[in-house]
């Protein structure tokens, strides 16, 4: 596994923390909603890199945010990420059978359960952020909600997924592919870092380094994903590979070639880390995550 020594314990710890919290958050009710909760649990417990939750915690640590509160925000973002995976995997979308090494929710259950499990996780994310337990200052809670809604809606993740579907029919160039990925994955990664600043009540002007880091990291992360779709194995990534090329979809790899894509990703990660120069050793976890983003094989 291509995880540096410094990052391995952090990844393990966030994985365990997420599983524990989702287990407590989603007890299966004894009524007609049992299947819904089982579908939600299937999607959020066990598996996934948990990179977004780790980014939230790392960003919150920079500003000495209480760990339990940071983990609540991490759970909320993972709810949104997992809801999007459930919906994107549906037969009418990317039609995937495998996710995080397990059957997708509509395969393990059925499509109706998958749609509703996604919708439920979506609502739950906002419920968690707006709850007073997440932050004592209601202005922080309202700002978290506003920024997550923007990052995940039609001007963010959902809009990016729509562009991705349209991309199969149209010849996208590098600029359009970058814009698509900024919406589809970049916006939510950006929110992970922004959330740290919001939780720490850091004013606008203090957020520039984190925004730069997030932008470069998000793009590099997506290039690495495109490389894994070409070079990776289904056994390690836990999802189908080779799908983009089969669909004739424009990706960073199809546009740049493998070598230039790899160089570009490495350059972006150097740039991402440069943005953190004003922070000391406290940003080491963010630096390690950046290196991991392009070194991973899953």
Q: Which is nearer to a copy of itself, 180 or 294 (CB)?
A: 180
Taking CB under 8 A as the rule, does residue 162 contact a copy of itself?
yes
Q: Which is nearer to a copy of itself, 145 or 272 (CB)?
A: 145
Contact segment (CB under 8 A) with a copy of itself among 9-17, 172-180, 258-266, 282-290 equals 172-180
Listed residue (62, 130, 23, 17) closest to 279, CA to CA: 62
In angstroms, give the least distance from the CB of 49 to a copy of itself.
23
Dihedral pair phi/psi, residue 65, rounded to 5°:
-75, 140
Number of residues that bind a copy of itself (CB under 8 A): 58
Distance CA 153, CA 75 (A): 18
x-marked contacts with a copy of itself along 56-95 as a string, rule CB under 8 A: ---------------------------xx--x--x-xx--
Contact segment (CB under 8 A) with a copy of itself among 3-11, 165-173, 247-255, 263-271 equals 165-173
Residues 6+ apart with CB under 8 A from 45: 19, 22, 23
In angstroms, give the least distance from the CB of 73 to a copy of itself.
14
Structure tokens at 226: 């495109």
What is the helix (H) or strand (E) element at residue 102, kind and residue range? strand 102-103
Q: Which is nearer to a copy of itself, 35 or 236 (CB)?
A: 35
Taking CB under 8 A as the rule, does residue 126 contact a copy of itself?
yes
Q: Which is nearer to a copy of itself, 188 or 273 (CB)?
A: 188
Residues 6+ apart with CB under 8 A from 156: 150, 183, 187, 188
Q: Which is nearer to a copy of itself, 33 or 260 (CB)?
A: 33
**What percentage of the chain's residues is helix, strand, coil (to nearest 5)?**
70, 0, 30
Taking CB under 8 A as the rule, does residue 174 contact a copy of itself?
no
Taking CB under 8 A as the rule, does residue 129 contact a copy of itself?
yes
Taking CB under 8 A as the rule, does residue 244 contact a copy of itself?
no
Residue with tokens 């010849």: 171
In angstroms, give the least distance from the CB of 254 to a copy of itself.
17
Contact segment (CB under 8 A) with a copy of itself among 3-11, 26-34, 51-59, 249-257 equals 26-34
CA separation (Å) from 142 to 4, 88, 188, 192? Answer: 37, 28, 17, 16
Q: Would you give the end-to-end CA distance of the chain in angstroms?
A: 9
Distance CA 288, CA 203 (A): 26
Contact segment (CB under 8 A) with a copy of itself among 52-60, 111-119, 251-259, 264-272 equals 111-119
Q: Which class for 16: exposed (0-12), middle (13-18), buried (19 or more C-beta within 10 A)?
A: exposed
In angstroms, give the least distance from the CB of 236 to a copy of itself.
28
Query: Do residues 7 and 49 lie in contact, with contact meaning Cβ atoms separated by under 8 Å?
Result: no
Return residues touching a copy of itself (CB under 8 A).
31-33, 35-37, 40, 83-84, 87, 90, 92-93, 110-113, 115-116, 118-120, 122-124, 126-127, 129-132, 137-139, 141-143, 145-146, 148-150, 152-154, 156, 158-159, 161-163, 165-167, 170, 176, 179-180
């Amino acid at each position: 596994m291509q995880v540096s020594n410094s990052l391995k314990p952090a990844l393990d710890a966030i994985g365990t923390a997420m599983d524990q919290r989702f287990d407590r958050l989603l007890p299966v009710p004894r009524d007609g909603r049992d299947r819904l909760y089982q579908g939600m649990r299937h999607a959020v417990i066990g598996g996934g890199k948990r990179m977004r939750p780790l980014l939230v915690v790392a960003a919150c640590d920079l500003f000495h945010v209480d760990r339990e509160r940071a983990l609540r925000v991490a759970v909320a973002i993972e709810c949104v990420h997992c809801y999007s995976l459930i919906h994107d995997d549906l037969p009418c979308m990317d039609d995937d059978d495998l996710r995080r090494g397990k059957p997708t929710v509509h395969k393990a259950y059925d499509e109706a359960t998958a749609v509703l499990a996604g919708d439920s996780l979506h609502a739950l994310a906002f419920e968690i952020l707006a709850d007073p337990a997440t932050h004592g200052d209601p202005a922080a809670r309202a700002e978290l909600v506003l920024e997550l809604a923007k990052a995940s809606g039609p001007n963010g993740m959902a809009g990016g997924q729509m562009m991705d579907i349209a991309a199969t029919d149209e010849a996208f160039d590098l600029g359009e592919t970058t814009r698509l990925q900024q919406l589809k994955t970049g916006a939510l990664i950006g929110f992970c870092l922004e959330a740290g600043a919001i939780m720490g009540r850091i004013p606008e002007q203090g957020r520039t380094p984190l925004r730069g880091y997030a932008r470069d990291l998000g793009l590099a992360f997506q290039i690495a994903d495109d490389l894994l779709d070409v070079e990776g194995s289904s056994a390690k990534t836990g999802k189908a590979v080779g799908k983009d090329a089969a669909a004739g979809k424009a990706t960073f790899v199809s546009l740049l070639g493998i070598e230039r894509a790899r160089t570009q990703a490495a350059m972006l990660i150097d740039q991402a880390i440069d943005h953190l120069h004003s922070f000391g050793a406290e940003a080491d976890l963010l630096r390690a995550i950046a290196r991991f983003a392009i070194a991973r094989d899953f």
